[in-house]
Structures are given as C-alpha cells and as structure tokens.
Amino acid sequence: MDTTLIGAQGEAKVISELTDRGWAVAKPILDLGVDLLACRIVDGSVKIVAIQVKTKATPSHNRGTCYGHQFTKSKIIDGVYYIIACLTIREYIIIPSEQAKQKTHWHKERAEWDEFKNRWELIR
C-alpha cells in the first residue's frame, strides 16, 4: 500500500481518538513537522497542542504490537506530541517531545513502551 495512504489512515484514526476525548482537531495546510493541531477549552482557556503522527501498517515482528521507532533528535520539535498509530490493532503510543528526546532509538521491548501505550491523558 502507498505510504501516503498509510500515513493518512493513521492521522484519521488519531483524529477520531482525539475527537472522542473532546478535542477539536485540524490539519495544517503546510507540513512544517506538525501533522495535526488539537484544541479544547480547559478552565475557560483555549489549550492548543501540536501532534506528529507516525503510522505503522503492520506490527513489529508479528508480535501484535507496534513497538519500535527511531527518532532523530534534531527533528524532534519542543512541545510536540508524537503518536505512533498502528493500523492493524487499536494501539497508540503517545510520547511527549521531552521523552522522545531522551532516546534516539526506542527498542521493541514492551516494557520500554508501556508507560506511553494508549496514554491519551499525556496530551494536555
């Protein structure tokens, strides 16, 4: 399958998940390293977050998981949430930029990802 289609599917799934959690989501016209902008009203103030979606079409090593991703530190943008979306299972890894910068390569071991798996509340 075309990687553009895979990426679009991942973004659509993330948009759906965020909308279910009360966020209004928009896709910027220009791609400057941010795929989505999400906003909601919190305590009378507008909260806006930037999101970069990475999509995996199939689980790694046929384990039924989407673990394993390599981040390039120079491309990590402060304040952006990185979400790895897996198309074959309903699993999302939500990593704030501060944590993404701590490592350049996240291994496929489950324990390394558990604190970020389906943790939508990390997006604040």
- 77-104 per-position pLDDT tens digit: 899 999 988 877 788 989 999 888 876 5
Q: What is the pLDDT of residue 114?
A: 80
Q: Which CATH fold topology does 3-122 show? A: Trna Endonuclease; Chain: A, domain 1 (3.40.1350)
pLDDT at position 3: 75
Give the range among 19-23, 28-32, 64-68, 114-118 with minimum mean pLDDT: 64-68
Task: Residue 3: name the closest of 45, 82, 57 by CA.
Answer: 57
Q: What is the pLDDT of residue 88?
A: 77
Write out pLDDT tens, residues 4-54.
788 899 999 999 999 999 999 999 999 888 999 999 998 999 999 999 998
